[in-house]
Structure 1
Amino acid sequence: MSYYVIYDGNCNLCVTLVKFLETLDQGRMFLYASMQDEQTLAQWNITSQDCQQGMILIDANAPERRWQGSDAAEEIGKLLPLGSLFVDAYRAIPGMKWAGDRFYEQIRDNRYTLFGKRDTTYQSTYCVDGGCKVGHD
């Protein structure tokens, strides 16, 4: 089973998290496309307005199945080894899901102020379209 992670390639925090996932997964389960890659996103009818609501996770085998924002982060967590134990525990604590959603929204809406904006868009080694650009960092 594989998934597409749509991330903000200009956000320092987002890129750091993608690099972490790349190291853990090495392209076995997750492939990546930046929110700035409008041509790739168009194949799933994702607009720049859609991207304003945060990262997106798409089930590659059933593209109609998708998660966004904190739900996408939680689903990625569940897919990682032993991750579902942590996500299930987090969700079982009353009020944590609501608080986590609000926390995600604050980070999402202030990510450039809090973590900075990159000068160039990060392109993953494990990109969705297979035409990954050489020279990513």
Structure 2
Amino acid sequence: MKKTILYDGTCNFCNTSVQFIINRDPKSSFLFASLQGKTGKEMLKKYKIKEEIDSIVLIVDEQAYTKSDAVLRICSDLTSPWKYMSVLQALPRFMRDTVYELIAKNRYRWFGKQESCMIPKPDVRKRFLD
């Protein structure tokens, strides 16, 4: 089963996170699309998510997950020790999302921003939908 991650393609932290996931996803379970691209915008519309969303989005089995739910579900499919972070789902969502929102709100200031989305390396290009 393929899972799709929608991410902010102009955010340095988000692009680094995508590379992190790729390097720890031995089954190539995840596909990727930037929120700014055609596919990302179509998927946001399909799942009735506002285009201005300030979150990573994970789509699995026609269900969309955002914020800490998305991150922790992604972690559950990564190699050890990262998959064990999924146990944090036991914490109340408001606690998890508060930490997520703090990072999301400051990501450009802390990590920088690019003018355009990254161009994936040829060996992983097939996992990108745009």
TM-score range, shorter-chain basis?
0.7 to 0.9
In structure 2, the partner of 1:40 is 39
Distance 2:31 2:76 in 1: 16
In structure 2, the partner of 1:121 is 117
Cα RMSD after superposing both structures:
2.5
CA shift digits 1:65-102 (9 cap, x unpaired): 110111100110112245553322x3446x6x533311
Aligned sequence identity (%): 30
Residues 78/51 of structure 1: CA separation in 2 closer, same or farther (3 Å cut): farther
Distance 2:22 2:41 in 1: 24
Residues 4/123 of structure 1: CA separation in 2 closer, same or farther (3 Å cut): farther
Using the size of structure 1 for normalisation, the TM-score is 0.74
Q: CA deviation at 1:50?
A: 4.0
Residues 16/57 of structure 1: CA separation in 2 closer, same or farther (3 Å cut): same
In the alignment, structure 2 segments of 5+ residues that lack a partner are none
Kept in 1: contact 2:25–2:79 (CA 8 A): no
Kept in 1: contact 2:57–2:64 (CA 8 A): yes
In the alignment, structure 1 segments of 5+ residues that lack a partner are 130-137
Amino acid paired to 2:97: D
**Equivalent runs, 1:87-98 vs 2, <5 Å:** 87-88=86-87, 90-92=88-90, 97-98=93-94
Query: Is residue 109 from structure 1 mapped to residue 105 from structure 2 by the alignment?
Result: yes
Q: CA deviation at 1:112?
A: 0.7
Using the size of structure 2 for normalisation, the TM-score is 0.78
Kept in 2: contact 1:34–1:123 (CA 8 A): no
Bigger Rg, structure 1 or 2: 1
Kept in 2: contact 1:4–1:128 (CA 8 A): no
